[in-house]
Structure 1
C-alpha cells in the first residue's frame, strides 16, 4: 500500500462507524455485482460513446491494483475483464482524453527497458511509486503499447489521478515540495514539444488536502476530492469554477446529494452533460437486532457491493453547472448508467 492509499485507509477506518449507518441514497450504484463488487472499485473512465467503462479494481489494502474494462449493452454491463495493457504491474487510475483516442493511467512499471520499477519513499518507508503512462487507440480499435511520458511531468514517483482537458493540459494530484503537508492538485500545460513543468493549481489554504482532479474538457470547472473544512466525512467531492481572469473560484462542496459521512473520492466526468462518477465507501444501513444470519446469508452480505468497500456511483450535477452559467454544448441529460 503506498502512502496515498495508506492515508485513504486511515480515512476509511476513521469514518467506518459513521458510514455503517449511512443508507445508500441518492445517485446510482454502477453495475451492482458486476462492476461494483465487494472489492475496491474506483476511477471510472467512460468512452465518449458511453459503451465502455474502464476502472480500477483492487484488494482492500490497494496493494494489488489492476485496470478493468466492461462493455454496456442496453442497461447491462458485461463481466469486467482485465484491460489488455494491464495485469502485470501496479496499474491504477485510468482516464480518457476527451476524444477517447488516448487512455492515461499511472503505474510502477519500469519507465524504459532495463530500468527498475518505480519506487517512492517517504521517510524510511518505501512503496510502489507511480509515473504517468498512456495507450493510444489503433486503427483496428485496439490499444497500442503503453508509452511513458518523459520529462518534467514524471519528475517524481507520486503522481495520481490524471485528468485531461481538450487542449491537452493534464491535471493530477501529488505530494510535491510545494504541497505543504497534504496532497495538492497540479497542471502540466501541453506545448508543441511536450509539457511544461507542473504548476500547483491555486485553490486555497495548503493545510487542506486536495486530490483526484476531474477537469471539464473545456476547462470551465474542476471537480476533486478533498477536505476544505466542511466535509461530511473524511473526504468529500468539491467543485471549483474558472473565473473570467483565468483563476479558479472558491471550491464549493457538492452537498449531501453526492457526499455522505463515508469516504468519497476519485471523481470523473461522464460522456453526457452533468454526468459525474465517484468512488464511495457508503454502505447499507444496519439495524440491530438483525434477522438472524445463517452462513449463506452472512457470506452473501459481507461480499456484497455495499459492505463498506469503495464502489462506483453515478450522479447528475447538471443543475449545479447550469446554476453557474454552464450549458451543454449539445446532447441530453446523462444516460442511464446503472
Structure 2
C-alpha cells in the first residue's frame, strides 16, 4: 500500500456520507484532456512563471511508480509530456516552483548519498517509499542543475509531502510528525540566514481532521489544502484558511462552486493568474442505465480515457472567494 493510499484511507475514515445529488463541477476545465489528463494518475500541477510550461506527477493507478513529467503549450496546444531531466529513476513526485521560477522543489525517495539505499518509511504496519525534499535550480542556459537535498529538520521521518513555497522562501508542506496526532497536518519551515528553521505546525484547529497538500499564497495571506473538516462531500475536498489580523489563521472554509465534488479532490496548486487554481480529482460523469450500447472500441476508449475514475488535473477559478475576503491581485 502506498503512502498516498494510507492518507486517503485516513480521509475516508472521517468523511461524512456524500449527498446523493451530484456535485461535480460542471464548469471546471480539464487540463489538456488526452495529453496531460489521461487514464493514468495525474496530480500536482506546477506552472512556470510564463504559464506555458507545466510540471506534474504521472503515476500508475496504485501510485507505486511516480515520475515527474512536463508539457509545454505552443499555439494553444499542450505538447506530449516528457520526463523531467532530473526524474525517471526514483519515486519522484509533487513538483512545486518557487514563485520566481528559479527553483523547482519536489519530494523523492532517492538516496541522500550516491550509491546509497533508497529511502523507506512505514505507517500502520505498512512499508513504502519514503520522501525527502529536494530542489533543482535553473542554470544560465535554462536547464536544470543537479538535484540538491534540502537539509534540516523538515526532512525528519522521511514523510514530507506537497511542498509549497512562499515569496520569502518559507516552505509549507504536509507530514506526519510527533505533534500531528493520528493523521497528517500542515507545517511551515521558515527560511533563515542559517538555513531552514525547525518545522512549525500550522494551527488550523482540531487535530482529529486530516490536512494535506498545502498551497500557500506567495504573500501568505491564505492557504489551501485537502482534507475533511467535517463537511467534505467525498473522501477529501479543498479548503481555504485566511490569515487574520495578528497573524493567526482563520477557521478553514469549504470551497464551493466548481472546486469540489462528491469524488476525491486533493493536491491544490495556484496558477500564475489571480484566482487560478488547479486541483486533482477523480470526478467522472454519472453512468445512466440503460446506457447507449458499447461496442469493443467505444468501451475501450471510454474506460481508458481521462474520465475513467483516475485522477486528473482540473482548472477552477476562486477569484470571487478571494475578493470576498479582501484579497486583491
Using the size of structure 2 for normalisation, the TM-score is 0.95
- In structure 2, the partner of 1:307 is 308
In structure 2, the residue matched to 1:264 is 265
Contact 1:276–1:317 (CA under 8 A) maintained in structure 2 = yes
> Contact 1:94/1:106 (CA < 8 Å) preserved in 2?
yes
Q: Which residue of 2 aligns with 1:104?
A: 105
Counterpart CA distance in 1 for 2:20 and 2:313 is 16
Secondary structure at the residue paired with 1:69?
A: strand
Partner residue, 2:183: 182
Indicate how the Cα distance of structure 1 residues 50 and 62 shifts in structure 2: closer, same or farther if over 3 A, else same: same
Q: Is the 8 A contact 2:278 2:315 kept in 1?
A: yes
Residue 39 of structure 2 aligns to a residue whose secondary structure is coil
Q: For each residue in 1:277-325, what CA deviation from the matched residue of structure 2 results, as whole angstroms up to 9, or x when unmatched? A: 0000100221111111111000000011011110000011111111111
Q: Are residue 137 (structure 1) and residue 157 (structure 2) matched?
A: no
Task: Specify the alignment match of 2:7 in structure 1.
Answer: 7
Change (3 A) 1:253 1:24: closer
**Structure 2: distance between partners of 1:24 and 1:273:** 20
Distance 1:44 1:298, change over 3 A: same
Which residue does the alignment assign to 2:68?
A: 67
Q: 1:148 and 1:62 mapped to 2: Cα distance?
A: 23
Alignment pair present for 1:275 and 2:279: no
- For residue 331 of structure 1, what is the aligned residue in structure 2? none
Kindly tell me: are residues 203 and 24 of structure 1, through their superposed partners in 2, closer, same or farther at Cα, counting changes over 3 Å?
Answer: closer
Which residue number corresponds to residue 156 of structure 2?
155
**For residue 53 of structure 1, what is the aligned residue in structure 2?**
54
Deviations 1:79-112 (Å, cap 9, x if unpaired)? Answer: 1111111000000000000000000000000012
**1:289-304 residue pairs with structure 2 within 5 A?**
289-304=290-305
Alignment of 1:178-327 (within 5 A): 178-327=179-328
Equivalent pairs, count: 328
Distance 1:193 1:96, change over 3 A: same
Name the CA distance, whole Å, in 2 between partners of 1:217 and 1:74: 29
- Retained in 1: the 8 A contact 2:25–2:258? no
Mark the runs of 5 or more structure 1 residues left unpaired by the alignment: 329-338
Using structure 1 for the length normalisation, give the TM-score: 0.93
Q: Distance in 2 between matches of 1:27 and 1:95?
A: 22
CA gap 1:31/1:10 in 2 versus in 1, 3 angstroms: farther
* Structure 2: gaps of 5 or more residues: none
What SS does structure 1 have at the residue aligned with 2:8?
Answer: helix
- After superposition, the CA RMSD in angstroms is 2.1
Q: CA deviation at 1:75?
A: 2.3
Q: Specify the alignment match of 2:121 in structure 1.
A: 120
- Note the C-alpha offset of 1:7: 3.4
CA contact (8 A) 1:280 1:311 kept: yes
Distance 1:10 1:303, change over 3 A: farther
The structural deviation recorded for 1:154 is: 1.1
- Whole-Å Cα distance in 2 between the matches of residues 198 and 32 of structure 1? 38
Q: Report the Cα distance in structure 2 between the residues aligned to 1:282 and 1:124, rounded to whole angstroms.
A: 30
Distance 1:135 1:111 in 2: 15
Q: 1:22–1:283: 8 Å Cα contact kept in structure 2? A: no
Pairwise CA distance, 1:114: 3.7
Is this contact kept in 1: 2:43–2:280, CA < 8 A?
yes
Residue 18 of structure 1: how far off its partner (Å): 8.1
Alpha-carbon deviation of 1:126? Answer: 1.4
Contact in 1 for aligned 2:12/2:236 (Cα 8 Å): no
